[in-house]
Amino acid sequence: MKKTINSSIPGLTKNAATVLEKRYLRRDESGTVLENPADMFRRVANTIAAADKKFDKKADLKSLSDTFYQMMTSFEFLPNSPTLMNAGRPLGQLSACFVLPVGDSMEEIFDAVKFTALIHKSGGGTGFSFSRLRPANDVVSTTTGISSGPLSFMRVFDVATETIKQGGTRRGANMAILRVDHPNIMDFIMCKADQKQLNNFNISVGLTEKFMEAVGRDEDYSLINPRDKKVCGSLNARKVFQRIVKQAWENGEPGIVFLDRLNRDNPTPLVGEIESTNPCGEQPLLPYESCNLGSINLGKFIHEDSIDWKRLRETIHQAVHFLDNVIEANNYPLQQIHDMTHANRKIGLGVMGWADLLILLGIPYCSEEAVKLGKKVMKFINDEGHLASQELGKKRGSFPNFKGSIFDTKGAAPMRNATVTTIAPTGTISIIANASSGVEPLFAVSYIRTVMDKNVLVEVNPLFEKIAKERGFYSKELMQKIAEHGALHGIAEVPVDIRNVFVTSHEITPEYHIQMQSAFQQYTDNAVSKTVNFSNSASIEDVEKVYMLAYESGCKGVTIYRDGSRDEQVLTTGKKEETVTAIAETPLEADRKAVKRERPKALKGCTHQMQTGCGPLYITVNEDENGLFELFTTMGKAGGCAASQSEAIGRMVSLAWRSGVQARQVVKQLLGISCHCPSGFGDNRVTSCADAVAKAIQNHMLDKGYDIDADTVVRHERGACPECGGIVEHEGGCSVCHVCGYSECA
């Protein structure tokens, strides 16, 4: 019998309960939910508290479990998703992120592929540096052949990730980093330009101080062959930097990581060099390290219009205790990861609800006051977090690699954890806590959500709704207007002081995004995961300015997203001299202008076979003298709903084409639609019959000589959640749906 989702947890929203039921709560083999949210939090609290037995046989586990339970159910602190999902369950894998080494041999590469599969199966994400791999066309002495280079092997990892199903709760995600002085760096920068490959990877270029200095002087810099560490060429630094910027402007990638800064703060330099990070970039790790993350909800620490520093201090110390216990309770996917994690004991305590805290204090996000307060808050968390780690070190001992670490100075206090603080994205756990994500500003004050029964709901930020009612300007009509408008700017019914405080990510200047990231980075051991949002009209120069500002202000990396850059594309069909662009007119205006083409008695076309989860689908595309005219579908041996729906799609596509709708619009609407039974993987993956039709149309245009710019082929709408259709927010270097909890990087 399904367990009721209603629980006694105050403040748990309906949306949070839905996300918990879908992704976190324990189920039996038939999928029946076996626990409610209160049960889940108690399961986690008991499991993590039990780790105290290893250090104190007389520990009061019941009292500690109650402390952890209260901390989580008050939403003052939440651990990362794998801990909530897996603590106290057979899988027992509690870490969010791992970094694996990729060596320059077939054995090492495919060991890494195997280890990646095991980690993704357990629910973790992985980061890699491919900088050790010799470049394409380099000599391979063992076979007297030539190397295929790092990009070819990245595709192997990508396909492996695509095939792994992570228990239905978390998707595989990867980070790929390549040093800017690798001979294949230009190919790497362009590797995701067509958005058709490596879609399970975030990519970042590892920049060095030498390179950035060469950019400033507009000089050439050396390329180094990793096989023999010899110089094998040179490139102009400024041109390479501008290519990185242009690609980021076009589709948000690659990001950049400042490698020398990561290693400047490497707490255990004698153990190894930091080469890569986790998928969202905030956690630099040595090979085989993992990190256990958790976030304090800052919005919960406002009392009588000021920050409750005393309660915040108590929560910081409890959270450090919790995260150190996670290291003991964890069931690691590899022995090497177990050993390295225990040797350095890195934890990452971060924050969420930063925008909420500013709103409650009446401070605009884009203000010097907010930046100054960000430094003060994060310094407090970092200082108290280190004190908590020292206290644990006195009781439990320092992390084993303490000797030779940055903490190993004369008269130094013990240190339990090599790192303590990290600002991670909090996409899903911030939904559970009903808090703003990480250190990001609000994504929207109000937005429209379509639920399963096609009802349209207006979702309103709870703080805004509360203030609107208190100030007497609340109405359902106003909330609807704000949702349609997208922000408060220009809404005269809302007082000016409220408009200034409730700013959204796209209203904040990129400079203030970077200033806030830099403020938190100044007092964070690891790194800060944050997305700098640009309007669609932003120029390439705007992006370059932000990348340079991130470097100059001490950030360890930066990710940008220009609104619409991944879903507003253009198809050019040279054969018919037809340029297909986004339709600017309204559907009504288009309908008035449409003139339906009459069907000739005979037409020529081609039939394309597409393998779907329902069986083979045969798609026939016919053309007249003006271009694509009609589409028919035949569904193999299948009948019933699958065949009828495919026929319906064919009829509607035919009607659209004959009425003047361009191929680009048809492809855009159908591509990426998902069903319960996808087929294939990698570039051959078909997510539904509708997706198959879209891909067949693209294939037909390519086969028939249409000039389709590979850089502009649409894959799927990144602006909409592929699971629920809700709004996708680009934050922390990832795409997150705040309706259902979907995360592209989780």
3-class SS string, 536-575: CCCCHHHHHHHHHHHHHCCCCEEEEEECCCCCCCCEEECC
87, 94 Cβ separation under 8 angstroms: yes
Residue 280 annotated as catalytic: yes
Higher-confidence position of 652 and 735? 652
Residue 634 scores a pLDDT above 60: yes
Instruction: State the residue range of the domain holding 101.
Output: 97-277
Query: What pLDDT, in 10s, does the model give residues 308-340?
Result: 999 999 999 999 999 999 999 999 999 999 999
| 19-37 exposure pattern, b = at least 16 Cβ within 10 A, e = fewer | bbbbbbbbeeeeeebebbb
Marked catalytic residue, from 280, 614, 689, 734: 280
605, 621 Cβ separation under 8 angstroms: yes
Rg (CA), the chain: 27
Name the least confident of 13-22, 117-126, 491-500, 562-571: 562-571
Higher-confidence position of 704 and 517? 517
Of 277, 299, 331, which residue constitutes the final position of a domain? 277
| Mean pLDDT for all residues in the chain | 87
- 127 within a domain of the structure (yes/no): yes
358, 364 Cβ separation under 8 angstroms: yes
- 406 within a domain of the structure (yes/no): no
* Closest listed residue to residue 382, CA positions, set 521, 556, 550, 555: 521
DSSP-H helix ranges across 412-539: 427-433, 462-471, 476-485, 496-501, 510-521
First CA to last CA distance, the chain:
30
- 154 within a domain of the structure (yes/no): yes
Strands 97-99 and 125-129: parallel
Q: Which two tokens stand for residue 277?
A: 């990070």
Q: Which two tokens stand for residue 269?
A: 């330099």
Marked catalytic residue, from 36, 86, 174, 278: 278
Residue 705, sorted as left (phi over 0), alpha (psi -120 to 50) or beta, turns out to be left
Strand partners, 146: 139
Of 260, 277, 294, which residue constitutes the final position of a domain? 277
Q: What is the pTM assigned to this prediction?
A: 0.80
Of 277, 307, 339, which residue constitutes the final position of a domain? 277
Cβ-based burial of 337 (10 A; exposed 0-12, middle 13-18, buried ≥19): buried
Higher-confidence position of 549 and 7? 549
Query: What pLDDT, in 10s, does the model give residues 26-40?
Result: 999 888 999 999 999
Residue 278 annotated as catalytic: yes
- 330 within a domain of the structure (yes/no): no
- 119 within a domain of the structure (yes/no): yes
DSSP run (H or E) holding 65: helix 61-73
Number of domains in the chain: 2
What CATH number did the domain enclosing 210 receive?
3.20.70.20
- 441 within a domain of the structure (yes/no): no
Q: What is the pLDDT of residue 681?
A: 60
Please give the DSSP secondary-structure letter assigned to residue 343.
Answer: H
Marked catalytic residue, from 282, 630, 717, 731: 282
* Closest listed residue to residue 118, CA positions, set 335, 347, 344: 335
Is the CA virtual torsion 202, 205, 208, 214 positive or negative? negative
Residue pointed to by tokens 């050993």: 339
Name the least confident of 41-45, 244-248, 252-256, 650-654: 650-654
Residue 665 scores a pLDDT above 80: no
Residue pointed to by tokens 């030539």: 146
Name the least confident of 84-98, 480-494, 541-555, 627-641: 627-641
Residue 251 annotated as catalytic: no
Residue 703 scores a pLDDT above 60: yes
SS (H, E, C) 137-160: CCEECCCCEECCCHHHHHHHHHHH
- 359 within a domain of the structure (yes/no): no
How many other C-beta atoms lie within 10 A of the C-beta of residue 646?
A: 24
Return the amino acid letter for 740.
Answer: C
Per DSSP, the three-state class of 618 is strand
Query: What pLDDT, in 10s, does the model give residues 235-259?
Result: 999 999 999 999 999 989 999 999 9
CA separation for the pair 250, 237 (Å, rounded): 20
Q: Which two tokens stand for residue 578?
A: 């037809």
CA separation for the pair 603, 377 (Å, rounded): 70
Residues 6+ apart with CB under 8 A from 361: 302, 305, 306, 307, 373
- 400 within a domain of the structure (yes/no): no
